[in-house]
Amino acid sequence: AARAADARRARGQRLSPLDGLPVLLKDNVGTTDLPTTAGSIALANNIPKQEATITQRLRASGAIVLGKTNLSEFANWVSLNMPNGYSSLGGQVIAAYDHAADPLGSSTGSGVATTMAFATVAIGTETSGSIISPATVHSLVGVKPTVGLVSRSGIIPLAHSFDTAGPMARTVTDAAALLGVVAGLDPTDDASPRFQAALGGVVPDYLGALSTTALRGVRLGVRNSELTDAGLFGEALAVLRAQGAEIVPFNASLLENGSTAEIAAITTEFKWYLNRYLATEAGTGLPVANLTQIIQFNSRNRDRVQYGQDLLVASNLQTGLPFDPVYLASRAAAIRSSEIALDTMFRRQQLDAIVSPNYGNVGVTAASGYPNVTVPMGYVGQAPQGLSFAGRPFTEQALLAYAYAYEQASHKRTPPTTLNPALRDYCTAIGAR
């Protein structure tokens, strides 16, 4: 694939900004040249019938799908006792900046691989924080798109109402280039009509929108509880103001209610959509055909499934039916309450985006399906910190532009080998050998 890309470039041809660049995929994203496992030993040999839509788009763009990354098993839906970044198939992901730190989220392998430059960019998936959180702790740009902008077809699901895939990159430019390739209409994804309705199905020019002046005249909301002149977030707010943004304090009480209802909905959705995936999309010859059999398989392999499987069991106790009234009520409560809260804040305060340190926007944007972009904000010791921009549906173009203007004015990212002596010494030793 690299040689073919080199030949195109020699002829003056390029398929996309990603042509010839290596990309890593979280191992719940379907590929037919490598197993797609969600980190589960029960799916170790799963070669799905068809590649995920985003995998197809990446290959068509000339990107080189270099491999798969480990994840918190089943997108972190095995056990409450299981640490972030663990899977029975891949073992434990270790945070790059501090080996003892929590790698967070479920896109942990994509986060570590990207910050370590194992590839140019990576794909993560998010249901509730699993792009933004690992991007933050690995000093990356993470984009959690509006649900419906990026196809979920061919991705092993956690909760269909909230799932989305998105970019993880070391720069906003790389994230914008990746989003421009994987975004687009997909008739096989029932969330895609939202994109058609909002933007006419036309993928915005995310790269072309990046500008160092994008923050001029922009109104950015900040929770009263987070407003400060001190620390890294205080410094970030000062940079935003210096770039022309107006910081607008607001009362955030409305924004904190959706995530609990989301968890209740996930419990039912996981069973329904995983069983459907296994029945219709998974490869043949697997030792399991449904969630019940996965639980039984895991029970026979407790040396690998080390932390129990209470979340799998809890999901399996649900009806797993899409018309279950308790599920429907939980789902509606999660989505609608968060939508109303965000829409009210944007309208009442005339906001272009909401900014927050680290994970402040994760719960409400996950439950509502609204977009969220994080960019490196600096470090507390060895611990990376992120600045998050949340917006209205399908405003990724603006959010990426705001993040880019901040990134170019602040230049906060430092490679992990600079801040982690143990990692630097290890890499030096490996290089010497």
CB-CB contact of 162 with 262 (8 Å): yes
Identify whether 26 is a catalytic site residue: yes
Taken as a whole, the chain contains a residue count of: 433
Rounded distance between C-alpha atoms, residue 48 and residue 35, angstroms: 8
CB-CB contact of 221 with 351 (8 Å): yes
Structural element, H or E, at residue 386? strand 383-390
Q: Which of 79, 88, 130, 151 is catalytic?
A: 130
Rounded distance between C-alpha atoms, residue 212 and residue 173, angstroms: 12
Looking at 183-247, list the stretches that DSSP marks H as alpha helix, in order from N- to C-terminal side.
192-199, 231-242
Sequence-ordered list of residues with C-beta below 8 angstroms from that of 7, at least 6 positions apart, any chain? none
Sequence-ordered list of residues with C-beta below 8 angstroms from that of 332, at least 6 positions apart, any chain? none
Q: Which of 61, 87, 88, 106 is catalytic?
A: 106
Phi, psi of 88 (to 5 degrees): -65, -25
Q: What would the two tokens of residue 385 be?
A: 């910190």
CB-CB contact of 405 with 369 (8 Å): no
Phi, psi of 225 (to 5 degrees): -70, -20
Q: What angle is formed at CA 425 by the lines to CA 419 and CA 430, rounded to 5 degrees? A: 130
Q: Which of 26, 68, 144, 412 is catalytic?
A: 26
CB-CB contact of 367 with 390 (8 Å): no
Residues acting as catalytic residues? 26, 106, 130
